[in-house]
């Protein structure tokens, strides 16, 4: 099982390297190779989760290692499924390093298999945890799109065309990408909060108790809700939307880690 994880990690790292090579060389064949490696990594990663599930006997989303690794997994598949419908030039070179980084963090975390704490013994665990983390996956894609937008816009605005101008897609395409990922991420986040709250009622007897994790999820949710609202009613699109995608992702990351390590609370067993 360690081998399986290690192999997945190496495939992601390799995919990142090949994506960078494609970014610099602009050879189409190189990109196809990168995509194939990433796909192989994604499949192996799926196998890893199944194997781990069988070993631990419950949904493997309860330790920091598992959660972060699942985060990377959902990013990979969100990216691959996204690619199936839309083509965004050189998106991969921005997404794959982030996937690799997450996997490195997961690799450093303890991979110990702990018995499930009583509070988590529920059918809600797979539903709530996977939805909440998948929301992060899409927000991460929106974050990458936001970074790409700002880089591309900078070169057009400053009229100094460096390495990005010809390699990145049009601002319009990046803005569409941003909107699409944020809408999906927001939807999943909403579902994540709702399922969490229903589960909390069953486990703790109350829907909402202002636990730090709950509070920060709500803050993240409010940021995204405000962003979508502004976009639809006042045309907060493009540059501002790109910045908001980056801020929103930072809030999501803080909900994931910051809360656990800095604020604690009843929800802090999960990474």
Partner 1 sequence: MSAESIVIIGVNHKTAPVAVREKLAFSGDCSGPLLTLINIEGCRECCFLSTCNRVEVILVADDPAVAAVAVRGFLFARSGLADVEAQQYSYLYQGQEAVAHLYQVATSLDSMVVGEPQILGQLKQAYREAMEHKTTGVILNRLLHKSFSVAKRVRTETNIGGSAVSISYAAVELAKKIFGSLRDKSVLLVGAGEMAELAAEHLLRQGIGRVIVANRTLERAANLARKFNGTAVGLAELTTQLAEVDILISSTGATDLILRKDEVKPLMRQRKNRPLFLIDIAVPRDLDPELNELDNVYLYDIDDLKNVVDANKGEREKEALRAEDIVAVEVVKFGQWLDGMELAPTITALRQKANAIREAEVTKTLSAMKSLSEGERRSVEMLANAIVNKLLHEPMVFLKNNDPNDNPQLKLDFVRQLFGLDREA
CA 267 to the chain's CA centroid: 20
**What's the CA gap between 168 and 256, in Å, rounded?**
30
Residues 21-40, one symbol each (x = binds partner 1 by CB under 8 A, - = not), give: -----x--------------
**What's the CA gap between 73 and 86, in Å, rounded?**
20
- With tokens 């400053």, the residue in question is 158
- CB of 66 within 8 A of CB of 100? no
User: Does residue number 206 form part of the binding site for partner 1 (CB under 8 A)?
Assistant: no
Q: Which residue among 6, 166, 202, 206 contacts partner 1 (CB under 8 A)?
A: 166
User: Does residue number 88 form part of the binding site for partner 1 (CB under 8 A)?
Assistant: no
Q: Which residue among 57, 115, 235, 264 contacts partner 1 (CB under 8 A)?
A: 235
User: Does residue number 145 form part of the binding site for partner 1 (CB under 8 A)?
Assistant: no
User: Does residue number 154 form part of the binding site for partner 1 (CB under 8 A)?
Assistant: no
**What's the CA gap between 19 and 6, in Å, rounded?**
20
Q: Which residues have C-beta within 8 Å of that of residue 234, sequence separation ≥ 6?
A: none
User: Does residue number 242 form part of the binding site for partner 1 (CB under 8 A)?
Assistant: no
User: Does residue number 239 form part of the binding site for partner 1 (CB under 8 A)?
Assistant: yes
Token pair for 129: 């945890």
**What's the CA gap between 135 and 85, in Å, rounded?**
19
- CB of 145 within 8 A of CB of 172? no
User: Does residue number 171 form part of the binding site for partner 1 (CB under 8 A)?
Assistant: yes
User: Does residue number 212 form part of the binding site for partner 1 (CB under 8 A)?
Assistant: no
Q: Which residue among 59, 152, 178, 220 contacts partner 1 (CB under 8 A)?
A: 152
User: Does residue number 150 form part of the binding site for partner 1 (CB under 8 A)?
Assistant: no
Residues 44-63, one symbol each (x = binds partner 1 by CB under 8 A, - = not), give: --------------------
How many chain residues bind partner 1 (CB under 8 A)?
21
Q: Which residue among 2, 3, 112, 234 contacts partner 1 (CB under 8 A)?
A: 234
**What's the CA gap between 53 and 61, in Å, rounded?**
9
- With tokens 């990922």, the residue in question is 181
Residue 165 or residue 254: which is nearer to partner 1 going by CB?
A: 165
- Other beta carbons within 10 Å of 34: 23
Residues contributing to the site for partner 1 (CB under 8 A): 26, 152, 156-157, 159, 161, 165-166, 169-173, 176, 234-240
């Amino acid at each position: 099982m360690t081998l399986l994880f290690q192999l997945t990690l190496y495939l992601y790292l390799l995919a990142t390297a090949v994506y960078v090579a494609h970014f610099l060389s602009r050879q189409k064949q190189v990109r196809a190779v990168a995509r194939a490696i990433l796909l192989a990594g994604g499949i192996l990663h799926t196998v890893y989760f199944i194997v781990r599930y069988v070993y631990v006997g419950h949904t493997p989303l309860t330790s920091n290692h598992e959660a972060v690794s699942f985060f990377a997994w959902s990013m990979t598949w969100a990216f691959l499924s996204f690619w199936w419908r839309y083509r965004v030039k050189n998106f991969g070179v921005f997404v794959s390093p982030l996937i690799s980084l997450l996997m490195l963090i997961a690799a450093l975390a303890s991979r110990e298999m702990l018995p499930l704490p009583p509070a988590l013994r529920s059918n809600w665990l797979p539903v709530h945890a996977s939805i909440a983390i998948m929301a992060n996956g899409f927000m991460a894609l929106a974050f990458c799109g936001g970074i790409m937008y700002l880089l591309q816009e900078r070169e057009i605005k400053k009229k100094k065309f460096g390495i990005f101008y010809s390699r990145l897609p049009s601002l319009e395409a990046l803005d569409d990408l941003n909107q699409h990922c944020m809408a999906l991420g927001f939807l999943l986040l909403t579902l994540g909060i709702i399922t969490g709250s229903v589960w909390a009622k069953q486990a703790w007897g109350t829907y909402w108790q202002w636990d730090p994790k709950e509070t920060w999820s709500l803050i993240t949710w409010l940021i995204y809700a405000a962003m979508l609202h502004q976009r639809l009613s006042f045309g907060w699109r493009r540059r501002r939307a790109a910045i908001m995608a980056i801020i929103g992702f930072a809030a999501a990351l803080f909900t994931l880690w910051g809360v656990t390590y800095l604020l604690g609370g009843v929800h802090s067993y999960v990474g």
